[in-house]
Chains A and B, each alone.
Chain A
Amino acid sequence: MRLAAKVDQLHKHYDLGTVLVKALRGVSLDFPYGDFVAIMGSSGSGKSTLLNLLGALDRPTYGRYILGGQDVSQLSDDELSRIRNEMIGFIFQSYNLITQYSVLENIEVPLHYRAGHSAISAEDRDHCLELAEIVGLEERLDHRPFQLSGGQQQRVAIARALVNDPQIILADEPTGNLDSSTEEEIMQILEKMNAQGRTIIMVTHEPQIARRAKRQIYMKDGLIAGEGIFPV
């Protein structure tokens, strides 16, 4: 299995009663291990819908999604939850940390939802501490999100995304809310992850961010329109 993930003729339709919205109209993509893809497109192009499907947060109307060798297209809600927990790491534009939890507790969240609901062991804790170190937050383990800057919060999110050793990392405009110097820090971390073998699929509308990826794809009207930087 050279492919971390693959989508094959993916269609997504939303039935709004009076009108049928075709958000994706047949998207096929391969994502080999170690890939670093930037997906671009204007709003309405279908890139968010594609990201939701890649994140197993939704099911395609037609087509297949194969993740880590497994067809996850028509799984049940419980099974999709498990897939998300074990195979996917999310990084959101607005960080999406749990405000009442500390840095360490936030990193631990995916561990709570592992199959079997095992308690958090000492090894688990050590693993989380390691990840905190990798993103440079070992001094702030007990801080709450409101005590952190945007860049620091995003770093917590990255550590959290890595905790269950996922097949793919999905990043939705990871630097959208950050200033340029913090942007640089975050992109460097992502590049480092990728260099170590992580597969990263990133949605962005900023060309300078897209250029940091290994390849770029742009979408239009629910289809892949081409490769390279989205013509602005």
Chain B
Amino acid sequence: MLGIVFGVFSVIAMLAIGEGASQQAQKQVLQLGATNIICVSVKPPQGIAKAGQGRLRVLRYGLLRKDYELLANTIRTVVKAIPIREVLDEARFSDKAMVTRIVGCTPDYFAVNHLFLDRGRFVSDRDQAENQLVAIIAADVAERLFQFEDPIEKQVYFNTKLYTVVGVTKRREATAAIGGSMSGQDYNKDIYIPLRTMNVQFPEVKIDFSPGSFSAEEIQLSQITLQIDDRDSVIPTAEVVRESLDRNHKEKQDVNVVVPLELLKQADQLRKIFNIVLGSIAAISLVVGGIGIMNIMLATVTERTREIGIRRAMGAKQRDIVNQFLTETIVLSGTGGILGLILGLLTPVAFQGIKWFVTRFVLEGGTAASDLGKMFTNMNPQIATWSLPVAFSISVGIGIVFGLYPAIQAAKLDPIEALRHE
């Protein structure tokens, strides 16, 4: 019966893990926007472009303004193109300071990235046109720099200038990193300013002096988010985008095109594979359990040969005997099924426990154990409700299938022989 318990439990647990992963992926995609294509500037690997020694070489990489023109204007399916440029800087207000991400953007940015206003307003077209020194600050920034004061109309200092706060965004859930193509975005430590203002105020060349070394980087745009007109066009458009960018970035490896919809498909495929592999393991375990039950029942039949003879003498038909033993088997496997069900329902609880243990003891360091631990913290199993009746029915089914043979053997016993037994 243990095989049944474990089999049912693992079916439910595995499906729950898969379901949780799938839901997470879906949530992430929705956050990034299912109809969005996000082009991200990335620093190319060292071998491709190197600053020469002793010479003033600026490392130019990433999306260019002409990429933006190209993508915004030549691709039919692109509804909106939202460029941004981001720079890390320390922002200050009175005696408080905080490292923030300064994001130069356009008015469209807020809607496309699901940012909502807590108070005030977003960047406007007029701000853009007039290169205004206005800023919209995010929730953590407001909290850290302004505490209980109303940030609106106050002035924040960064990059040698004072910016007037005109809006505060509501707290927003962070998005997770996507493999190597895009880093996680926190959103709550941002300060949004008009892109044109940024272009005027922040030089494109970023120069870093430190003892013994010198580096200079030039980025025009950090990211371009493209909103596509409908879901079906997304994948084909992504192809076109990749080709267009190739024009200006051939072999430079400095631009990544992230298509959330593709990620969803990938996650889905992964989940399917996961389900098949683990489903097979669970199936094997169930079969093993079934064989175990069959053996138990065969032994039971042998032990109760006399009893079977008595019942037959009293008028039991063969099918009565079959029913009697089949019922016993189903009860056995059904009980195992229920136990497995209960264990399965505890999967999320078990995972909470594992996560707690992992975060307390294992997460530090780059050991294999901590990697595994990180994997666990990312998993958030959700019980797929349909898996419960399915798994239970399977356990009952196993009982029927593996109990049928012993039951039929019992029914076929010759009453006279059976009565003589033992």
Note all chain B residues with C-beta closer than 8 A to A109: 310-311, 314
Instruction: Name the segment of A30-38, A52-60, A67-75, A224-232 touching the other chain.
Output: A52-60
B317 contacts partner chain A, Cβ-Cβ < 8 Å:
yes
Is there an interface contact between A98 and B318, defined as CB atoms closer than 8 Å? no
- In chain A, positions 83-104 with a C-beta closer than 8 Å to chain B are 84-86, 90, 92, 96-99
Give the contacts of B376-422 with A (CB-CB under 8 A). 415-416, 419
Q: Is the CB of B416 within 8 A of A84?
A: no
B307 to chain A: closest residue by CB: A98
> Closest CB-CB distance, A77 to chain B, in whole Å?
6
Chain B residue nearest to A170 (CB atoms) is B313
**B189 at the A interface (CB under 8 A):** no
Partner of A81 from B306, B307, B316, B416 at Cβ < 8 Å: B316
Contact B318 A113 (CB under 8 A): no
Say whether B101 faces chain A, with CB atoms less than 8 Å apart: no
A57 touches B318 (CB 8 A): no
Once the chains bind, are A113 and B313 in contact (CB under 8 Å)?
Answer: no
- Bound together, the chains give a CA A105 to CA B165 distance in angstroms of 88
Decide: B313 and A90 in contact? CB cutoff 8 A: yes
Are A85 and B314 within 8 A (Cβ)?
A: yes
Given contacts A96-B306, A98-B307, A113-B320, whether A57 and B313 have CB atoms under 8 Å apart is yes
Residue contact A77 to B318, C-beta cutoff 8 Å: yes
Residue B85 at the chain A interface, CB threshold 8 Å: no
Report how many residues on chain B are interfacial, defined by Cβ distance under 8 Å: 17
A57 touches B416 (CB 8 A): yes
Give every chain A residue within 8 A of B316 (Cβ-Cβ).
81, 85, 112-113
Given known pairs A57-B415, A96-B306, A96-B419, the reply for A78 and B318 (CB within 8 Å) is yes
Q: Given known contacts A96-B306, A96-B310, A96-B419, is B318 in contact with A110 (CB within 8 Å)?
A: no
Q: Mark B296-323, 1 if CB is under 8 A from A, else 0.
A: 0000000000110111111111111000
Residue of B nearest to A58 (CB): B416
Known contacts A78-B318, A81-B316: does B311 contact A92 (CB below 8 Å)?
A: no
In the assembly, what is the distance between CA of A80 and CA of B415, in Å?
12
For A, the interface residue count at a CB cutoff of 8 angstroms equals 24
For A98, list chain B residues within 8 Å (CB): 307, 310-311
Q: Evaluate whether A77 and B313 lie within 8 angstroms (CB atoms) in the complex, with A57-B416, A92-B419 already known.
A: no
Q: Give the shortest distance, in Å, between B289 (CB) and chain A (any CB).
A: 26
Please encode chain B, from 316 to 335, with 1 for each CB lying within 8 Å of some chain A CB and 0 for all others.
11111000000000000000
A99 neighbours in B (Cβ, 8 Å)? 307
* A82 is an interface residue with CB less than 8 A from chain B: yes
Q: A81 and B317: CB pair below 8 A?
A: yes
**Distance (Å) between the CB of B325 and the closest chain A CB?**
15
Chain B residues with Cβ under 8 A from A57's Cβ? 312-313, 415-416
**A81 & B315 in contact (Cβ 8 Å cutoff):** yes
Question: Closest Cβ of chain A: how far from B367's Cβ, in Å?
Answer: 58
| Residue from B315, B319, B416 within 8 A of A82 (CB atoms) | B315
Residues in A whose Cβ lies below 8 Å from that of B312: 57, 81, 84
Contact of A113 among B306, B309, B311 (CB under 8 A): B311
Q: How far is the CA of A57 from the CA of B309 in the complex (A)?
A: 10
CA distance in complex: A52, B415 (Å): 10
Query: What does the 1/0 interface line of A158-170 toward B look like (CB < 8 Å)?
Result: 0010001000000
Nearest 8 CB-CB pairings of A with B: A85-B315, A113-B315, A81-B317, A110-B314, A84-B315, A96-B310, A113-B316, A78-B317
**Interchain residue pairs with CB less than 8 A apart (22):** A52-B416, A55-B313, A57-B313, A57-B416, A58-B416, A77-B317, A77-B318, A78-B318, A81-B316, A81-B320, A84-B314, A84-B315, A96-B306, A97-B310, A99-B307, A109-B311, A110-B314, A110-B315, A113-B314, A113-B315, A160-B314, A164-B315
Write the residues of chain A forming the contact surface with B, with a CB cutoff of 8 angstroms. 52, 55, 57-58, 77-78, 81-82, 84-86, 90, 92, 96-99, 109-110, 112-114, 160, 164
* Extra A-B contacts (16), CB below 8 Å, given A78-B319, A84-B314, A96-B313: A52-B416, A57-B312, A81-B312, A81-B317, A81-B320, A82-B317, A84-B315, A90-B314, A98-B307, A99-B307, A109-B310, A110-B314, A113-B314, A113-B316, A114-B315, A160-B314
